[in-house]
Each structure stands twice: as structure tokens, then as C-alpha cells.
Copies of this chain bind each other. A is one copy, B any other.
Amino acid sequence: MSQHRPPGAPERSVAVPALPDLPEATVARLPEYLRALHNLAENGHETVSSEWLATAAGVNSAKLRKDLSHLGSYGTRGVGYDVALLIDQIEYVLGLTQRRTVALVGVGNLGHALAGYDGFATRGFRIAALFDADPVRVGEEINGLVVRHVDELSRVATEESIAIGVIATPAAAAQRVADRLVAGGVTSILNFAPCVLTVPDGVDVRKVDLAVELQILSFHEHRKASLTALPAAGEATLTPLPGSLAATDPQEAIGT
């Protein structure tokens, strides 16, 4: 995650937009803009105002304009943005002009759903390989791809130039899988297992955790309830230490 730049490189201003240093918050919103733009393009719109696009993406219009201004000035005052041009710009910046290959590890419950998901293909990615450790699963064909054994992971990742690894194994196996991905030269990982991964510098990890999302929602539920029901002492029947709820997570302990 080192954000340094070699001070020797004199920042030669090529004709290419040359990958400006986008704020991370902006990067996280660009995909949303892109999706909204594709919708507009399908509906035959050729231009769109920041107000419109912002609404479609669910953000403030000033924020959207500032985000887009970081890519360069591709809007026309008094008119708006050219939809097709903007799509190309954002896709270029996001690196979607070359379709990235994805390896999916862990073809269980969730993995099956992901393997069969058409959203990969339609949004710029290609699943190039599936892996699992279960001998029963290895060899199975899903969507035209044969599940390989995870022992082949590093080798295949290198051979097929896998760009992104998706981990859908139990948490206990996730770190091992991540290590193998890294060994295979993968520098981007999307982790669905509820655990923290340790990876070398230069490798990006993003995590999607269903339970985290639900618990955040739960907090707000709790808050809303305590605001409306406080005067009547509604939910405040606290039960300070109600034993232990749930706990025992089958997904083994932290191995450190």
C-alpha cells in the first residue's frame, strides 16, 4: 500500500490520461457511475447532466462532478456529459479495457453461485479457473469450466496470468489460499471468508462479509428503536450479560 512514486520519473505528460492519482473514495464510486451510464446508453441517451447521473448513482451532484473532474474535463458546460465518451473514460481508468481474468477458489455453496453468475462477464471480467480442495468437487464441470484441485492453484495462476483471485472457502482455509494466490503472482484478492488476510505489500485485498453488513444494519435498527421507544423504556429491558449468544464459530481459531 505504499503510495510513493519514484521521484526520478518526471511525470511526462503523454497524450494518455496517464492514470491520475484518484482519491480512493472516488475510485469506489466510479463503478456505480459506470453502471448508471450503461443503463442510460441502453435507453438511447447520448448526453447526461451531472444532476441526472448523480441521482441515478445515488450521490450528490457536486460530488459526482468533482469525481469526474479528476479524470479530466470531459463535460460540456450547458449540456452535460457525453455518455459514450464517459463510459470509455471510466472503463479506461478502471482498467477494464483489457478484460481481467479471475480465479475462483472454493466451489461450495457460495462459490457455485459466483461461478454461475453472469455479472462477471457483463462487467468486464472472465472467470478463467475454478479450484477446490474436496476430491468430490474436483473434476466437476460448472458453466463450461472444470474444477481443478487447489494444489494446482499457484501454477495455473501463473500460467493463465490470473489478475484477481476470489476466495470463497471456509475462513480456516482462506489464508492458505491467499498465500497460494500470491505465490502464483496474483496481486488482487476478493475475500468472502470472514477473516483477516495477511499479504505482502503490493497485494490488494478487499473483503465482503455478509455478517458485517447485517450487523451494521442491526446497529441502526437498535438505534432507531431506542430513539422512538426510550421514553417508554421499551427495549431497555437490558439483560446485561445474557450468557453467551451463539459464539462457537466452526471456522477455527486464528492460527497465529
Instruction: Flag whether A79 is at the interface (Cβ < 8 A).
Output: no
Q: Which of the residues B36, B97, B238 comes within 8 Å of A254, measured between beta carbons?
A: B36
Instruction: Flag whether A77 is at the interface (Cβ < 8 A).
Output: no
Instruction: Flag whether A159 is at the interface (Cβ < 8 A).
Output: no
Given A19-B223, A28-B216, A124-B245, CB of A112 within 8 Å of CB of B114: no
CB closest residue in chain B, given A191: B213
Instruction: Flag whether A200 is at the interface (Cβ < 8 A).
Output: no
CB of A253 within 8 A of CB of B43, answer yes
Tell me the bound Cα distance from A111 to B196 in angstroms: 25
CB of B222 within 8 A of CB of A93, answer yes
Which candidate, A60-68, A133-141, A203-211, is the interface stretch facing chain B?
A203-211
Chain B residues with Cβ under 8 A from A38's Cβ? 247, 249
Instruction: Flag whether A76 is at the interface (Cβ < 8 A).
Output: no
CB of B93 within 8 A of CB of A163, answer no
Tell me the bound Cα distance from A56 to B256 in angstroms: 9
CB of A109 within 8 A of CB of B116, answer yes
CB of A92 within 8 A of CB of B238, answer yes
Given A124-B218, A164-B221, A220-B188, CB of A249 within 8 Å of CB of B42: yes
Chain B residues with Cβ under 8 A from A256's Cβ? 56
CB of A188 within 8 A of CB of B221, answer yes
Chain B residues with Cβ under 8 A from A242's Cβ? 88, 97
Chain B residues with Cβ under 8 A from A183's Cβ? none
Q: Which of the residues B18, B88, B223 comes within 8 Å of A241, measured between beta carbons?
A: B88
Number of interface residues of A (CB under 8 A): 106
Chain B residues with Cβ under 8 A from A211's Cβ? 31, 35, 119-120, 123-125
CB of A250 within 8 A of CB of B122, answer yes
CB of B110 within 8 A of CB of A113, answer yes
Q: Which of the residues B210, B221, B231, B235 comes within 8 Å of A114, measured between beta carbons?
A: B210
Interface string of A84-122 (1 = CB under 8 A from B): 110110011111111110100000011011101111111
Measured CB to CB, the closest approach of chain B to A108, in angstroms, equals: 8
Instruction: Flag whether A232 is at the interface (Cβ < 8 A).
Output: no
Measured CB to CB, the closest approach of chain B to A242, in angstroms, equals: 6
Instruction: Flag whether A34 is at the interface (Cβ < 8 A).
Output: yes
Chain B residues with Cβ under 8 A from A156's Cβ? none
CB closest residue in chain B, given A37: B247
Given A112-B113, A242-B97, A253-B42, CB of A30 within 8 Å of CB of B215: yes
